[in-house]
Amino acid sequence: MFCYQCEQTAAGTGCTKVGVCGKQPDVAALQDLLVYFQKGLAQVALAAREKGVYDASLGHFMARAIFSTLTNVDFDGARLIELIRETVSRRDALAAKVKAAGGSVPRGPATLAPAADQAGMIAQGEEHGIEKDPELNADIKSLKQTLIYGLKGVSAYADHAAILGQEDDEVYKFLQEALAATERLDLPLDKWVGMVLECGRINLRAMELLDAGNTGTYGHPVPTSVPLGAKAGKAIVISGHDLKDLQMLLEQTVGKGINIYTHGEMIPTHGYPELKKHPHFFGHFGTAWQNQQKEFGEFPGAILMTTNCLQRPRNEYMDNIFTTGLVAWPGAQHIAEKADGSKDFSPVIEKALAMPGYPADTDKGSVLVGFGRNTVMSVADKVIEAVKGGAIKHFFLVGGCDGAKPGRNYYTEFVEKAPKDTVILTLACGKFRFFDKQLGDIGGIPRLLDVGQCNDAYSAIQIAVALSKAFDCGVNDLPLSLILSWYEQKAVAILLTLLYLGIKNIRIGPSLPAFLTPNVLNVLVQNYNIMPITTPDQDLKAILG
């Protein structure tokens, strides 16, 4: 196997024997094969579009398949094989229509027959991994992989948005064009750079759709205090990013005597009016995703993983953990979606009722969430006044993913050391490095503002744009610095969006992506002055002068 798509890749260069994430070589090969067949499906979809043949359900299916190959989502070979089979059957049905309309499809992934069994498919996948890419130019190969990882992020957001009824064919069309392009060997370097930036634009659209889905369905988040302790009684903890799963779980547990806790990226959901209205939606359990193997063993109830960031479940809680949506682990119980999009969480509920739950209330303090663009903009006058009057000197957006590397202490220290006249905006799971710090306020404006999940980068961008309008300057001229942490491919997509928007001087860590060649990195440095993090002291000094 060879995989270098995430930040924790082995030795900072690539996982070759087994994934640091726990991905086994057979699963890696099946993921590579799924991506390869998706490229073929994309080629056929484009040929079909040319002939006026359009399959409305194809785009979301492709997003789901590509999302399945994102880090920490699907570790279950059997589910990947199902997706490969569906990809091929959709491809062949569409290709028949293309041919009937007088068109043709290219040879390669658009025509390759899948092997009949799992072993054959694994062998096929090994033939179509990253290292087998016939592209000889290392920089183009790097940009191609950057594009594919950006597409994985776009696919994740597009899938979340589609689940809430928000779709735009522009997103799907780009997914198809970009996937099909990765099979070409005739495109010059500048075209690849253009496509990578276009991926950033499309990701902004996908995040906009998701924002519309989330806020349209559940209302705009409002400032909300979230307890970190426990309430006596039975318990379910829900992790991941999927708000609809949470809604269904809350509705199905009404009156059951079960308290619902969030985990990881679910914490901002406490701020949504249509979710927080449930009295049994109690608080938050644990910290970031990479601590789950230690923390889940201590949870006295059922665990539900929606979307990504699953680690190998330990034996002590294997019977209590459930997956749903695209996330899967062989042997862990999976809650499937019904044809009408609903889910029956009874097995999770029964498990929670059979487990001890919390014997007594415990108080571990609380944190504030709910500072999406609507909340921040509603106090814009106050914020602008504080900046003009000198009470707020600078804004830092300290956000992104968390991870296991020790270098990530940088983010905790950075926030601790940021001067008292600065405000920290944060989003995604990187916040768990400092989410419970009491940083106080500036004239009633909290110094630590949780904008939301990683996809709420859209909200953060809207805040930055609104500030730049208020101050009549460009976003790059605002007293705002971006200090980002990355881990998986949604973060890659968000970074591409920031570059597409022309945002400069981004600091990124804890290490740089292994898939960027020195030349590609150089382009980023020259055009965007993107730079690796150094030490909190040094970076604060450089930013604040």
Binding site for ligand SF4 (CB under 6 A): 3-6, 8-9, 15, 19-21, 23, 71
Q: How far apart are CA 4 and CA 427, in angstroms?
A: 25
Nearer to ligand FSO, 23 or 234 (CB): 23
- Closest approach, Cβ 452 to ligand SF4, in A, equals 24
- Residue 376 touching ligand FSO (CB under 6 A): no
CA angle 53, 58, 61 (to 5 degrees): 170
Select from 490, 496, 497, 506 the one that contacts ligand FSO (CB under 6 A).
Answer: 490
* Residue 6 marked ligand-binding: yes
The torsion angles phi and psi of 356, rounded to 5 degrees, stand at -65, -30
* Residue 251 marked ligand-binding: no
**Secondary structure of residue 160 in the 3-state scheme:** helix
Choose the binding region for ligand FSO from 171-179, 251-259, 327-335, 484-492 (rule: CB under 6 A): 484-492
Neighbours of 285 (CB within 10 A): 27
Nearer to ligand FSO, 58 or 451 (CB): 451
- Residue 488 touching ligand FSO (CB under 6 A): yes
* Residue 488 marked ligand-binding: yes
Select from 235, 321, 332, 454 the one that contacts ligand FSO (CB under 6 A).
Answer: 454
Binding partner of 289, given ligand SF4, ligand FSO, none, CB within 5-8 angstroms per partner class: ligand FSO
Binding partner of 264, given ligand FSO, ligand SF4, none, CB within 5-8 angstroms per partner class: ligand FSO
Nearer to ligand SF4, 4 or 218 (CB): 4
On whether the CB atoms of residues 349 and 258 are closer than 8 A, the answer is yes
**Secondary structure of residue 255 in the 3-state scheme:** coil
* Residue 21 marked ligand-binding: yes
* Residue 429 marked ligand-binding: yes
Select from 146, 253, 269, 453 the one that contacts ligand FSO (CB under 6 A).
Answer: 453
Nearer to ligand SF4, 6 or 105 (CB): 6
Binding partner of 487, given ligand SF4, ligand FSO, none, CB within 5-8 angstroms per partner class: ligand FSO
Binding partner of 208, given ligand SF4, ligand FSO, none, CB within 5-8 angstroms per partner class: none
On whether the CB atoms of residues 35 and 149 are closer than 8 A, the answer is no
Q: How far apart are CA 368 and CA 366, in angstroms?
A: 7
- Closest approach, Cβ 265 to ligand FSO, in A, equals 4
Residue nearest to ligand SF4 (CB): 19
Between the two ends of the chain, the Cα-to-Cα distance in Å is 46
* Residue 490 marked ligand-binding: yes
- Closest approach, Cβ 494 to ligand SF4, in A, equals 17
Site for ligand FSO in 380-439 (CB under 6 A): 401, 428-429
- Residue 309 touching ligand FSO (CB under 6 A): yes
Instruction: Choose among 233, 355, 325, 225: nearest CA to 284.
Output: 225
Nearer to ligand FSO, 98 or 210 (CB): 210
- Closest approach, Cβ 139 to ligand SF4, in A, equals 20
What is the β-pairing status of strands 366-369 and 333-335?
unpaired
**Token output for 261:** 């806790």
- Closest approach, Cβ 291 to ligand FSO, in A, equals 12
Q: For residue 351, what are the CA distances in angstroms to 236, 259, 320, 329?
A: 9, 13, 7, 18
Q: How far apart are CA 310 and CA 3, in angstroms?
A: 18
On whether the CB atoms of residues 27 and 75 are closer than 8 A, the answer is yes
Mask: binding to ligand FSO, 237-276, rule CB under 6 A, as x and -?
Answer: ---------------------------xx-----------
Instruction: Choose among 254, 258, 286, 240: nearest CA to 351.
Output: 258
Q: How far apart are CA 439 and CA 421, in angstroms?
A: 11
Nearer to ligand FSO, 124 or 455 (CB): 455
Nearer to ligand SF4, 73 or 304 (CB): 73
Binding partner of 8, given ligand FSO, ligand SF4, none, CB within 5-8 angstroms per partner class: ligand SF4
- Closest approach, Cβ 289 to ligand FSO, in A, equals 5
Q: What is the torsion angle, in degrees rounded to the nearest 10, for the CA atoms of residue 398, residue 400, residue 403 and residue 408?
A: -20
Mask: binding to ligand FSO, 273-292, rule CB under 6 A, as x and -?
Answer: ----------------x---
Q: How far apart are CA 276 and CA 362, in angstroms?
A: 20
* Residue 401 marked ligand-binding: yes
What is the β-pairing status of strands 302-305 and 321-324?
parallel
Query: What is residue 336's DSSP assignment?
Result: P
Nearer to ligand FSO, 32 or 456 (CB): 456
Q: How far apart are CA 450 and CA 369, in angstroms?
A: 5
Neighbours of 257 (CB within 10 A): 11
- Closest approach, Cβ 264 to ligand FSO, in A, equals 5
* Residue 241 marked ligand-binding: yes
Task: Label each residue of 411-473 as H, E or C.
Answer: HHHHHHHCCCCEEEEEECHHHHHCCCCCCCEECCEECEEEEECHHHHHHHHHHHHHHHHHCCC
* Known binding residues for [4Fe-4S] cluster: 3, 6, 15, 21
Q: Please give the residue ranges that form the binding site for ligand FSO (CB under 6 A).
A: 264-265, 289, 308-309, 401, 428-429, 453-454, 487-488, 490-491
* Known binding residues for hybrid [4Fe-2O-2S] cluster: 241, 265, 309, 401, 429, 454, 488, 490
